[in-house]
Amino acid sequence: MGGLTRGYFIQRLLMFFLTIWIGVSLTFAIPRLSGSDPTTAMLLTMMNARGYVENADKIIAAYKESFGLNDPIGIQYIRYLWNVIHFDYGFSFAKFPAAAWSLVTPALPWTLGLLTVASVLSFIFGVTVGSLMGWRKTPRWLNNILPVSLTFTSIPYFMFGILLISIVAFKLHWLPATGGYSRDVNPGWNAPFIKDVLAHAIMPLISIVITSMGGWALGMRGLMIGVNNEDYFLLAQAKGLSPARVFFRYGIRNAILPALTAFALGIGSLIGGSILVEYIFAYPGTGYTLYRAIQEQDYTVIQTITNLIIIITATGVLILDLLYPLIDPRITYKKSVAS
């Protein structure tokens, strides 16, 4: 593994598990510190649907007993950690007897498909634009055009989404306004359904990419400006190497490491989703599921999604940290020996 030592690997692995433990512990504690009662919220939902619920106090007591909410907080915590290890998050408080995991899994493919593509495209476009803006050899005409691509980055992505719905869906009628697919198509691996899903995903995708690429661009521009003054970069130019090779191999490759770290930290958001974007477009992803769970004070569903975010984020950071020596050979984790 090149400059990666066994000691460092073990250290990062321990840090990985410590991060997950702290994260899932906070996920357990925060909803309970709010003082809200999920069984009462569940009863209110039932009353809104039916108008009246007989023996409400007995129902609340029965639910608390069923969910183990009458047990001491320490016992609840130990049971919670044991269930997390086994990926068993119990039943949904709001939609009992449905399991929390069964409510999250149908939404996962929608969010992973949309947010993976959106994040990768935003990162690629942003890094490319920022690198060109920070490179001294970029033609002047291109430097005058590139900032225009960042015009919409000051607009929140959910506001840009509303703008797209108003113009593209309602006025021009080019794309469907909301949902993941139309009701008149049969879900499955067939051409009409796939085409319809892609049509519904275009506007949420554009709203995220256009408004988020500016952050990557501005960050990469600053990093690229710093690389311009490095000796190895100036030497590569003095040796007469092609501009493309200098730009990609000596410029982007050395400037992109902090951006990659930020990208790894943002991997967890692929599961949390862009909540407001999914809400505005009624997109059936985990972001919208999380929004509904927070509204309904559904502890178990909230814990399921947030724990997935924690685990995936920690895993992404661990993998990237271990791959750093391959990305930049200058990085080594071997202890230097004093001469």
Note down pLDDT in tens along the chain; length 339 residues: 455 677 778 888 898 999 899 988 888 887 777 666 666 666 666 556 555 555 556 656 666 665 566 678 888 888 888 888 887 777 787 776 788 888 888 888 888 888 888 888 888 888 888 888 888 888 888 877 888 777 777 777 778 888 888 898 888 888 888 888 888 787 878 888 888 888 888 888 888 888 888 888 888 888 888 888 888 888 888 888 888 888 888 888 888 878 877 787 666 555 555 677 788 888 888 888 888 888 777 778 888 888 888 888 788 778 877 777 666 655 655 555 444
Q: 3-class SS at 64? A: helix
Instruction: Please provide the size of the chain in residues.
Output: 339
Residues 112 and 100 in one domain: no
Residue 100 maps to a domain: yes
Specify the residue for token string 């490319």. 128
Residue 290 maps to a domain: no
How many C-beta atoms surround the C-beta of residue 203 within 10 A? 24
Q: What is the pLDDT of residue 67?
A: 59
What's the N-to-C CA distance of the chain in angstroms?
A: 25
Yes or no: say if 86 and 101 are a contact pair by the CB < 8 Å rule. no
Average per-residue pLDDT for the chain: 78
Residue 207 maps to a domain: yes
Residue 292 maps to a domain: no
Residues 39 and 27 in one domain: yes
For residue 329, give its domain range.
1-104+297-339
Yes or no: say if 223 and 255 are a contact pair by the CB < 8 Å rule. yes
pLDDT, one tens digit per residue, over 149-166 is: 777 777 777 788 888 888
Residues 121 and 269 in one domain: yes
Q: What is the pLDDT of residue 18?
A: 92
Residues 96 and 153 in one domain: no
Residues 330 and 275 in one domain: no
Residues 271 and 301 in one domain: no
Q: What is the pLDDT of residue 330?
A: 59
Residues 78 and 112 in one domain: no
Residues 118 and 82 in one domain: no
User: What total of structural domains would you count in the chain?
Assistant: 2
Residues 90 and 185 in one domain: no
Yes or no: say if 5 and 331 are a contact pair by the CB < 8 Å rule. no
Residues 130 and 258 in one domain: yes
Yes or no: say if 129 and 146 are a contact pair by the CB < 8 Å rule. yes
Residue 291 maps to a domain: no
Residues 96 and 244 in one domain: no
Give just the sign of the alpha carbon dihedral 196, 178, 162, 267: negative
Residues 100 and 112 in one domain: no
